[in-house]
Structure 1
Amino acid sequence: MGMELQVSAQVDAVAQAFVSARREARALSDYPGVAPAALDTAYSIQDRAIHFDGRAVAGWKVGRINPPLDGTLGANRLSGPIFADSIVDAASGAEPEMPVFEGGFAAGEAEILLHVAPGFAGPVPTDDDGTRAILDDVRLGIEIASSPYARINLDGPAVTVSDFGNNAGVVLGAELTGWREVDLCAILVRSEIDGAEVGQATAATMLDGPYGAVRFLLANLIQRGFDVSQGLWVSTGAITGVHEIAVGQSFRAEFVGHGDVRCRVVAAQPR
Structure 2
Amino acid sequence: MTDTTPRAAEMLLAVRRGAPRLAGLGDAAPRNMTEAFAVQRAVLSSLGARIGGWKCSAPPGQDPSGAMLDAAGLRASPATWTVPADGRIGIETEIAFRLGRPLPARAMPYTREEVLEAVDTAFPVIEMVVSRYQDPSKVSPMEAMADCIAHAGLILGADVPGWRGMDLPGLVVKQSYGAEVQVEKRGGNPSGDPVVPLLWLANALPHHGLALEAGQVMTTGSCTGLIWVAPGQRVTGGFGGFGEVTVDLV
Contact residue 100 and residue 168 of structure 1 kept, 8 A: no
Amino acid aligned to 2:41? D
The one of 60, 64, 83 aligned to 2:54: 60
Shift of 1:171: 0.6
Secondary structure of the corresponding residue to residue 165 of structure 2: coil
Alignment-derived partner of residue 182 in structure 1: 166
| Letter matched to residue 71 of structure 2 | A
Compared CA separation, residues 221 and 105, structure 1 to 2 (3 A): farther
Structure 2 unmatched ranges of 5 or more: none
* Normalised TM-score (structure 1): 0.79
Deviation at 1:160, TM superposition (A): 1.5
Amino acid at match of 1:109: E
Count of residue correspondences: 247
Letter in 1 for 2:45: H
State the shift of 1:20 in Å.
3.0
Look up the equivalent residue of 1:28 and give its one-letter code.
R
Structure 1 match to 2:99: 116
CA distance in 2, matches of 1:156, 1:228: 26
- String of CA shifts for 1:71-93, please: whole Å, max 9, x gaps: xxxx2x21111111110012xxx
Residue identity in the other structure for 2:97: L
Q: Does 1:126 align with 2:120?
A: no
| Counterpart in the other structure of 1:172 | 156
Counterparts of 1:196 and 1:51, CA distance in 2: 39
CA shift digits 1:170-209 (9 cap, x unpaired): 0111112211211211210012222212223444653251
Deviations 1:118-149 (A, max 9, x none): 3433555322x333211001111111111232
Q: CA–CA distance in 2 between the matches of 1:205 and 1:169?
A: 19
Letter of the structure 1 residue corresponding to residue 213 of structure 2: S
Q: Aligned partners of 1:62 and 1:119: how far apart in 2?
A: 17
The answer (yes or no) to whether the contact 1:105–1:148 under 8 Å persists in 2 is no
* RMSD of aligned alpha carbons: 2.6
Change (3 A) 1:249 1:158: farther
**SS of residue in 1 equivalent to 2:221:** coil
Question: 1:58, CA displacement in angstroms?
Answer: 0.8
> Within 2, Cα distance between the matches of 1:100 and 1:162?
22
Pick from 86, 101, 105: which aligns with 2:73? 86
TM-aligned CA distance change 1:104 to 1:11, over 3 Å: farther
TM-score (norm 2): 0.85
